[in-house]
A and B are shown apart, each in its own frame.
Chain A
Amino acid sequence: MSAVIEEHHDHHDHKPTGIGRWLFSTNHKDIGTMYLWFSFLMFFIGGTLALVIRAELFEPGLQFVEPEFFNQMTTLHGLIMVFGVIMPAFVGLANWMVPMMIGAPDMALPRMNNWSFWLLPGAFGILIASLIMSIMGMGSAPNFGWTFYAPLSTTYGPASTDYFIFSVHLMGISSIMGSINIIATIMNMRAPGMTYMKMPIFVWTWFITAYLLIAVMPVLAGAVTMMLTDRNFGTSFFNAAGGGDPVMFQHIFWFFGHPEVYIMILPSFGIISEIVPTFARKKIFGYSSMVYATASIAFLSFIVWAHHMFTTGMPVAGELFFMYATMLIAVPTGVKVFNWVSTMWKGSMTFETPMLFAIAFIFLFTIGGFTGLMLCITPADFQYHDTYFVVAHFHYVLVTGAAFGIMAGVYFWLPKWTGNMYDETLGKWHFWTSVISVNVLFFPMHFVGLAGMPRRIPDYSLQFAEFNAMASVGAFAFGFCQLIFLYNVIKTARGKTSVKATGQVWEGAHGLEWTLPSPAPFHSFTTPPQVK
């Protein structure tokens, strides 16, 4: 290791080679690349599980999987998508872009960076091992939903729950180390002249997200540790028969879980705030109000957790408090949307793939925001809670929100990473097929949810048949469209596209990362640029 580091001082662009380049990497770009590929792989695994779910729900009756296995599918799909796809993709983007955007040579803590990535394959190896064992008939994989409510996951959890606990601990450590690194980088390594209020919005959103992560990942770790001791060492944190409290589990889980949903959207807000000005050829509207809005969303996210628990029987004062607090989140979220629209207003827009995904994000995330507003109205939530209406809501914010933001970011920065333009035609195909199929997939879920279909069920009554079949058709279409994305990324990375990217890449691009050549050099800014 030290030999490698010393070498860096002599030849600036010397890359270590072979497997060691990846295993021992301390380079922010290589680590970013690994995060992104890891996330991509998990996207296809989690997606396959989702397709098993949708295949089973295509028509009434049980056809492909037993109810027990079905529950394992929803659980692992949720866990993989949340912890294995969205979060690692964001960390990968932060790794690549934060040092370049603030004019730094690398991340502040490169060795920790290596460690925080390499914990992830371990964590997911363990989780997926439990699924493989289940398929081979050696006990059940986690089957209690990604929310793992006690006592279903404690007293009644399968043996593999202990694997799950260990895996969550590893993911938590990885995320905490990743966030410490991002905070340290942003606080200490900004180029001279780059004050906080001159940082790109993507950097700002990640800065705030990293604090959220540090605040709530330990809470999650606490919850799973209490589960561990309840299961194996005779404690009764969540066991009513021993004087424990199953509702307390939900409070702890959602104290983590609600900020977690903002962890999964704020960096996408940042990406969209980079892309829209670039393709509208106009500065972001209301920079400082964007920053304040992000910070207020982050603050509010800590005081709304029990809106997931209205049906647990809270005192009415609690229900009112959590309803009002949740409604408040709509205000800063609205500010963000209005600012994006104002940025587009009277711009000079072009519609390359990143912009298309960004615009789809604004439309579809807003739809998810509207259903969110509906959900926070407590008396109505009694009807929506735990139905497909909620499933529709969180897929609008996670898939057409978080995931579309990531896809937009990948198209936006891929030329900078690889030095090659991606194939625009394929990009457009990917966009249009995805945006149509994703709505065929998720929009009908609103209807079946309102009509009374609970979530997490392997079979349903006949009146839900039509829209479920429609959603399943959309699901398979959406799943297969992602292969276009995969192909396009590989083709670009291998330099098989005809156009080489310039340093500037996009006509309207502003910011330090675009002052570097494409592909960006192995060590980003060896001498700090001056920001005016």
Chain B
Amino acid sequence: MIAAMRVAGLLGLMLLSGESLADYQLNMVPGVTEFSQGAYEIHTMVMWICVVIGIVVFGAMIYSIINHRKSKGAVAADFHESTTLEIIWTIIPFVILIVMAIPATKVLLAMEDVSGTEMSVKVTGYQWKWHYDYNVGEKAEEISFFSNITTPDSLSIATSGNVVKGDNYLTDVDNRMIIPTDTKVRLLFTSNDVIHAWWLPQFGVKKDAIPGFINESWISVPEPGIYRGKCAELCGTNHGFMPIVVEALSKEDYAAWVDGQKSAAAEVAASASKTWSKADLMAKGEQVYATFCAGCHQANGEGLPNVFPGLKGSAVATGDISKHLDVVFNGVAGTAMQAFGGQLNDVDMAAVVTYERNAWGNDVGDMAQPSDVKAMR
């Protein structure tokens, strides 16, 4: 209903003023990098060439439709062949194509030139989140993290209504990918499961993340800012819910961020050696569950019938805890249930298992400690 009113409003606006359309973007974004601007320019050029050809061809058709009709007494001529014409309208389009091909080739060659990069980030697609790893190539840093959509409630009809739909609806993540400005950053893409595609319109980069392959591309962002994109290749149930957010920081701010990440990592390592209370584990576990598990098993633990099993009352989640840890740590081969051992640290793993055993009325009562998980590694 609201949407219907907005459409009516939009049509009205278009008729009345032709302005105030700023909210609705009609065209490709020029973006902030050399690529995106190159793509935008060539897009604009080809589009206008098409418009001109369209005007000529459609103009001729419309003229003919208006004037060469029987009701106006038109009598059919009987020409039906002209080799000269056929040659002309083969050659002219050919020339136009060459005019398009030259700049397209130039832009493309520049895009594919990954020489001289100053740092690298490895981007891995997971169902349905992104993982960023800075521990590769030039200037490697021991930083890596997952990036999840911040509104897991968007994933199902029952809860979608709870989500406040603001400007960044479906395009906010918990951990942004951070890069320094004015730095040629090489991006390496791969996937842990199915094919995803990392797309950031403002950078003009769209590359598939393919299991068993490493693709590369590069960006150099001149301005600090927050840039948003989406996964562009169908990757299963929640393909629509794996946004990409990149934040470009000035070089100094970037260095500060790197330091911050390192000390945070040290803190996490320290917390893994202490013994956690059940309440703390439950609180932590609920967060971990929401970001890593709810996409499949659902926030209410009931799963999706015949696709993802429910954990509420499930044999594993209410049975022997070592079996439960094993399923989460090693996954179930040949199914969508991945091995989370490599994705979650000891604390998160202990917390999520504890949470599953005691949430939604499972009430098993026991808990896992980070040290239990450490023992499995």
Instruction: List B1-48 residues whose CB lies under 8 Å from chain A.
Output: 2-4, 6-7, 10, 23-29, 35-36, 38-40, 42-43, 46-47
A451-B25 contact in complex given A61-B163, A338-B89, A346-B77, C-beta closer than 8 Å: yes
Provide the residues of chain A in CB contact with B215, threshold 8 Å: 312-313
Instruction: List B53-77 residues whose CB lies under 8 Å from chain A.
Output: 53-54, 57-58, 60-61, 64-65, 68-71, 74-77
The reply to whether the CB of A396 lies closer than 8 angstroms to some CB of chain B is no
Taking the closest CB of chain A, its distance from the CB of B197, in whole angstroms, is 6
A-B contact count (CB 8 A): 324
State whether B29 touches A452 (Cβ < 8 A): yes
Provide the residues of chain A in CB contact with B334, threshold 8 Å: 155
B200, closest chain A residue (CB): A452
The reply to whether the CB of B360 lies closer than 8 angstroms to some CB of chain A is no
Taking the closest CB of chain A, its distance from the CB of B269, in whole angstroms, is 31
The reply to whether the CB of B348 lies closer than 8 angstroms to some CB of chain A is no
Bound complex: CA A355 to CA B181 (Å): 58
The reply to whether the CB of B237 lies closer than 8 angstroms to some CB of chain A is yes
The reply to whether the CB of A506 lies closer than 8 angstroms to some CB of chain B is no
Instruction: List A127-155 residues whose CB lies under 8 Å from chain B.
Output: 137-140, 143-145, 149, 151-152, 155
State whether B160 touches A62 (Cβ < 8 A): yes
A450-B28 contact in complex given A245-B212, A331-B94, A465-B3, C-beta closer than 8 Å: yes
* Among A71, A288, A311, A363, contact of B237 (Cβ-Cβ < 8 Å): A71
Per-residue 0/1 for A350-375: is the Cβ within 8 Å of any B Cβ (1 yes, 0 no)?
11000000010011001100100110
Bound complex: CA A240 to CA B202 (Å): 31
State whether B26 touches A451 (Cβ < 8 A): yes
Bound complex: CA A60 to CA B50 (Å): 33
The reply to whether the CB of A382 lies closer than 8 angstroms to some CB of chain B is yes
State whether B240 touches A466 (Cβ < 8 A): no
State whether B211 touches A241 (Cβ < 8 A): yes
Name the interface size band of chain B: 35 or more
Name the interface size band of chain A: 35 or more
Provide the residues of chain B in CB contact with A367, threshold 8 Å: 54
State whether A331 touches B238 (Cβ < 8 A): no
State whether B76 touches A59 (Cβ < 8 A): no
Per-residue 0/1 for B176-190: is the Cβ within 8 Å of any A Cβ (1 yes, 0 no)?
000000000000010
State whether A348 touches B234 (Cβ < 8 A): no
State whether B108 touches A341 (Cβ < 8 A): no
The reply to whether the CB of A109 lies closer than 8 angstroms to some CB of chain B is no
The reply to whether the CB of A523 lies closer than 8 angstroms to some CB of chain B is no
A457-B239 contact in complex given A149-B234, A313-B207, C-beta closer than 8 Å: yes
* Among B171, B212, B231, B234, contact of A144 (Cβ-Cβ < 8 Å): B234
Provide the residues of chain B in CB contact with A423, threshold 8 Å: none
The reply to whether the CB of A473 lies closer than 8 angstroms to some CB of chain B is yes
State whether B240 touches A61 (Cβ < 8 A): no
State whether A345 touches B101 (Cβ < 8 A): no
Taking the closest CB of chain B, its distance from the CB of A530, in whole angstroms, is 23
Bound complex: CA A330 to CA B195 (Å): 31
A382-B205 contact in complex given A59-B2, A62-B160, A345-B64, C-beta closer than 8 Å: yes
The reply to whether the CB of B136 lies closer than 8 angstroms to some CB of chain A is no
Bound complex: CA A330 to CA B89 (Å): 11
The reply to whether the CB of A285 lies closer than 8 angstroms to some CB of chain B is yes
State whether B35 touches A62 (Cβ < 8 A): no
A380-B42 contact in complex given A151-B194, A450-B26, C-beta closer than 8 Å: yes
B contacts, CB < 8 Å to A: 2-4, 6-7, 10, 23-29, 35-36, 38-40, 42-43, 46-47, 50, 53-54, 57-58, 60-61, 64-65, 68-71, 74-82, 85-86, 89-90, 93-94, 97, 100-101, 104-105, 107-109, 111-112, 154-157, 160-161, 163, 165-171, 189, 193-195, 197, 199, 201, 204-208, 210-213, 215-216, 229-241, 304-307, 334, 336
Q: A377-B43, A459-B170 are in contact. List 15 more A-B contacts (CB 8 A).
A: A62-B155, A71-B237, A151-B194, A246-B210, A316-B108, A323-B108, A330-B93, A330-B97, A349-B65, A373-B46, A386-B197, A387-B232, A463-B24, A467-B24, A470-B10
A contacts, CB < 8 Å to B: 58-68, 71, 137-140, 143-145, 149, 151-152, 155-156, 158, 240-241, 245-247, 280-289, 311-313, 316, 319-320, 323-324, 327-328, 330-331, 334-335, 337-338, 341-351, 359, 362-363, 366-367, 370, 373-374, 377-380, 382-383, 385-387, 447, 450-452, 454-463, 465-470, 473
